[in-house]
Structure 1
């Protein structure tokens, strides 16, 4: 039951992240570089604040609880590999998102995530039953059916960046299976990611200067863009990724991969609710196919 609850909340956070990104970048409220920087900063501030309170409470409970267990939680500080994966995912996604339409970007991103995570799961001998393989194929087919109408021939550079973003997210997700404290692991991963902020700001300024935006603070960043980037960072990324890291140890890698096919469905529903987007027959059909196939995959177990 815990796995279902945590996974569902995490998927909603992922969908919200997509919504915030779409609103900020597609509407031109902010540039991709500044969006990524503010996203990382806001997530870090939020998580450091929560971690401080969490650590204080844990330390007060040491005498009344299992000290080795508490020490293990306090010593969980994520890893540099996870942090690098996080930065690559966030930056490449933001840059590529501007160049790709929703369908094309989602197809490339999801394909990279699925290949990375399911490939790793098979490497780790997470065997799938015939029914699971069929469910996976049906879910992917439903996903393609949902996204293909809005897909277009992508630019090679943007497609490569989105594929790299998907692979990095796959690596980041896989790393979550070994964490002891999802909150602290996520928090320290974001803290380490701040090392990249000066570089992102410098490159972003150079890029904006090339396209004629001399005054980055006035011409490329709006209050709406800042608010959306903060919401993406503090809520959808910081808290959302912590919950995802809580769910990861409860799921097989292959399960964690396929459930993410539900994110575009949830994102579309959020778009209908908050952006007054149209609900189509294609979406309803694809949603039934995807959600049904994911349910079959999750309920079916490999028989030896």
Structure 2
């Protein structure tokens, strides 16, 4: 095979593999946090702190290698908003992970991210196509389906759902704020480092350090250093090489991967209601990506 033909084949396959790896990392966050808080019995504040602190160490090392210590700068307004919204996400996500299944949590999170970013577009008076209106409506309908009265023994904890929805709002606002950051890797490293300091205060106030089984360290550290820290860093490497629409569509796989991981590792079998809600949410996000004719 000609070397040029081989390279044309190899580069897209490598990019696809890296993108798939990032999506698995994002979905693994739901499963790993569920393992630490629910299965190992760790406190949500302790889990959130370990995740942020270990992620910050990895991200700071990568940012310093790329930009040097002099490059670790960010406008105060952007940094403050990033730390606040990231902390909101970690707070809701960490507590909710102990209350609802991994797949349901990921679905709720991504639906609320979609709705929050849609609201942000309205706030900034961005031109919104009919497809985005329809997509946001379907995503909202998917969340409504998740909250329907339970049947067949299936129940979703309303507090867990509300907290994961709050986490989705936090992540959506964090994503909107990230558009203003010129150096996303540096911004994420600084956001993680300062949010870890806030999580330390939360943990000391909640007094939940040292609770649960000792093996809870493993999923908490993996979620921070690998699936968050290295996962985000890899995502920033992949993003410039793929269209924005493809990047958004790729993330539609995350709730489904999380549901599969929950079924395999946590024996959390998704209900028929979950699949109906997933169809509405993922279909809604996909429709919102369509360009206006």
When normalised by structure 1's length, the TM-score is 0.70
Deviations 1:43-101 (A, max 9, x none): 01111222232235xx9xxxxxxxxxxx9x66457612201211221123212333455
| CA shift for structure 1 position 23 | 1.3
Pick aligned residue for 2:54 from 4, 29, 42: 42
Match of 1:23 in 2: 35
**In the alignment, is the contact (CA less than 8 A) between 1:143 and 1:261 conserved in 2?**
no
Provide the rounded CA distance (Å) in 2 between the counterparts of 1:227 and 1:166: 25
Check if 1:271 corresponds to 2:262.
Answer: yes
Change (3 A) 1:289 1:6: farther
Q: Which residue is equivalent to 2:115?
A: 115
Distance 1:141 1:154, change over 3 A: closer
Deviation of 1:243 after TM superposition, in Å, equals 5.0
Matched residues, number: 272
1:250-286 deviations in Å (ceiling 9; x for gaps): 648xx95x87664322211223444455476666666
Q: CA deviation at 1:9?
A: 5.3
In structure 2, how many angstroms separate the alpha carbons of the residues matched to 1:152 and 1:276? Answer: 16
Contact 2:121–2:128 (CA under 8 A) maintained in structure 1: no
Q: Structure 1 residues 113 and 102 mapped into 2: Cα distance closer, same or farther (>3 Å)?
A: same
Equivalent pair of 2:96/2:164 in contact (CA under 8 Å): yes
Structure 1 unaligned blocks of 5 or more:
60-70, 209-215
Is the 1:104–1:147 Cα contact (8 Å) retained in structure 2?
no
Cα pair 1:84 1:193 within 8 Å, conserved: yes
TM-fit CA distance, 1:173: 1.0
Question: 2-side partners of 1:227 and 1:138: how far apart?
Answer: 37
Match of 2:179, SS state, is helix
How far residue 4 of structure 1 moved from its aligned partner, in angstroms, is 8.7
Could you tell me how far apart the structure 1 residues matched to 2:35 and 2:173 are?
27
Alpha-carbon offset, residue 21 of structure 1 = 0.9
The TM-score normalised by the length of structure 2 is 0.72
Instruction: Give the deviation of 1:108 after TM superposition.
Output: 5.6
1:110-142, Cα deviation, whole Å (9 max, x unpaired)? 554333211112233443333443344445545
Does structure 1 conserve the Cα–Cα contact (< 8 Å) formed by 2:64 and 2:72?
A: no
Give the RMSD, CA atoms, in angstroms. 4.0
Given that 2:27 and 2:106 are in contact with CA atoms closer than 8 Å, whether structure 1 keeps it comes out as no
Q: Contact between 2:51 and 2:223, CA under 8 Å: does it hold in 1?
A: yes
Distance in 2, Cα, partners of 1:29 & 1:193: 23
> Contact 1:262–1:290 at 8 Å: present in 2 too?
no
- The alignment status of 1:241 with 2:270, answered yes or no, reads no
1:131 and 1:164, CA in 2 relative to 1: closer, same or farther beyond 3 A?
closer
Distance of 1:296 and 1:80 partners within structure 2 = 33
CA contact (8 A) 2:55 2:192 kept: yes
User: 1:203 maps to what in 2?
Assistant: 205
**What does residue 302 of structure 1 align with?**
292
Q: In 1, distance between residues paired with 2:105 and 2:272?
A: 21
Contact 2:102 2:258 in 1 (8 A): no
Would the alpha carbon gap of residues 28 and 251 (structure 1) be closer, same or farther in structure 2, given more than 3 Å must change?
A: same
Q: Does the 8 Å contact 2:63/2:72 carry over to 1?
A: no
